[in-house]
Structure 1
Amino acid sequence: MDIVEYQDVKFNGTIEHQSIYKGEPNPELDNAWDALVFGTKLTAISAEAVEKLGKSVQPSLVKFMDEDGGGYMTTMEVTHQLHCLNLLRKSTYYDYYKSMADPLLRSSPDQYRLHLNHCIDILRQQLMCTADAGLITYQWVKGYERPYPDFSTWHKCRAIDKLWEWNEEHAVHVPWSRIKRVEQGMDLEEAP
């Protein structure tokens, strides 16, 4: 996408750092994660844009109905990656979240493990793809026998707010009940 902007950001890597995204489960924390994971919208792209992604337009590709604006259904990958990270976070508090209405944690143990392994590998691939070559320095800290890493480092980050703005501006506001297989559509034999 040509809408990517960058900004310099210093990560707060201190262990004691308080963040709305970490800590014991609580409603505020869950709301913050839900806003990241469920806040993005479906978008539509043209057949040409599909081909620019290295994919081919085929009958199994989900297309919005013409009366809803047409185009092929997409979501931003960051949404899936954040979903996976959130699933890993929830799995560290498995007993707490299993008692809630989270369908993923209430699935069969085999299905849950399959999903968890998928998420771990997606995040591994993403981290290796964007391999951060930044350097971590070390300090001598009173009370520690070994050098202590300083994880508060500078990064050139994609401006996530700009991505969210683009997503909102290009959102397709179609209820899931209107997303249907078209007559001439054909299902893939296996999931991609």
Structure 2
Amino acid sequence: SPYQGYPTPERTARWMELLDGYSIRVPSRYLDALDLESIPLNDNSGDVWVSMNVYHHLHCLDSIRHQVAGVRCSNPHNPLANRTDHYDMDDEHFFPPHIDHCIETLRKRLICQPDLGVRAIAWNPDKPGAAFANNTINSACVDWDAVQNWTREHSFKEEEKLITTPDGETVFLSSQFPYHLDCH
């Protein structure tokens, strides 16, 4: 897949494209049935800031990908929000709290909505006595392009400065959430 391998600038750009549409605007009344409240946008539209869980899960997977590769990422708008840097690490284990959070989030998601498809096991013809799982599995998937098209139609960019803190400060999204990162 074009997403596999060491996080080169090209692969990272593909991952960032997957995450495009993280911040979505919807009318606040859409959340009434869910009994949820969310941060209102400051453009007097009555819309609120939401996101689909899939984008958080992709962000977590991407953060783990960078951590495993030893690639350091930083938030250009707020250095204190750099969760993939090694802030507040347990020196003994060298394990960033953000990566721990991401692993736990993905663990919960996999248990909550497990893929119950069956994988066949075969003998490896190149290694006598060794077995491997057959990764060619037929499964029904959602139309990811349709999901991304919808979110992009309803998304907003940090440059729009639609988020205001309770104390009246207008902030960049990435100062709150490190989804738009510079990685090196």
Whether TM-score is above 0.5 comes out as yes
The one-letter amino acid paired with 2:34 is L
Q: 1:183 to 1:25 in 2, by over 3 A?
A: closer
Q: 1:159 to 1:64 in 2, by over 3 A?
A: same
Deviations 1:128-181 (A, max 9, x none): 111011001122332321332101101111111101111122224563634114
- Which residue among 131, 150, 153 is the counterpart of 1:147? 131
* Counterpart position of 1:85: 61
Q: 1:31 to 1:54 in 2, by over 3 A?
A: same
Please tell me whether the aligned partners of residues 64 and 179 of structure 1 are also in contact (alpha carbons under 8 angstroms): yes
Which protein is bigger by CA-based radius of gyration?
A: 1
Q: Which has the higher contact order (CA 8 A, sep 6+)?
A: 1
Please tell me whether the aligned partners of residues 84 and 98 of structure 2 are also in contact (alpha carbons under 8 angstroms): no
* Counterpart position of 2:87: 108
- Which residue among 139, 144, 147 is the counterpart of 1:163? 147
Deviations 1:83-130 (A, max 9, x none): 000011111111xx22x5463333414297221111111101111111
Q: 1:62 to 1:84 in 2, by over 3 A?
A: same
Q: Does 1:75 align with 2:59?
A: no
Distance 1:172 1:34 in 2: 15
Name stretches of at least 5 consecutive residues in structure 2 with no aligned partner. Answer: 76-81, 169-184
Please tell me whether the aligned partners of residues 44 and 70 of structure 1 are also in contact (alpha carbons under 8 angstroms): no
* Counterpart position of 1:9: none
SS in structure 2 of the partner of residue 155 of structure 1: coil
Q: 1:66 to 1:177 in 2, by over 3 A?
A: closer
Distance 1:183 1:157 in 2: 43
The one-letter amino acid paired with 1:31 is A
Please tell me whether the aligned partners of residues 46 and 72 of structure 1 are also in contact (alpha carbons under 8 angstroms): yes
Distance 1:104 1:182 in 2: 23
* Counterpart position of 1:51: 32
Please tell me whether the aligned partners of residues 41 and 167 of structure 1 are also in contact (alpha carbons under 8 angstroms): yes
Q: 1:143 to 1:33 in 2, by over 3 A?
A: same
The one-letter amino acid paired with 1:82 is L
Give the number of equivalent residue pairs.
157
| CA displacement at 1:31 relative to structure 2 | 1.1
* Counterpart position of 1:27: 9
Name stretches of at least 5 consecutive residues in structure 1 with no aligned partner. Answer: 1-18, 185-192
Deviations 1:16-37 (A, max 9, x none): xxx2111123221111112112
Superposition CA RMSD, Å: 2.5
Please tell me whether the aligned partners of residues 119 and 137 of structure 2 are also in contact (alpha carbons under 8 angstroms): yes
Question: With structure 1 as the length reference, what TM-score do the two structures score?
Answer: 0.71
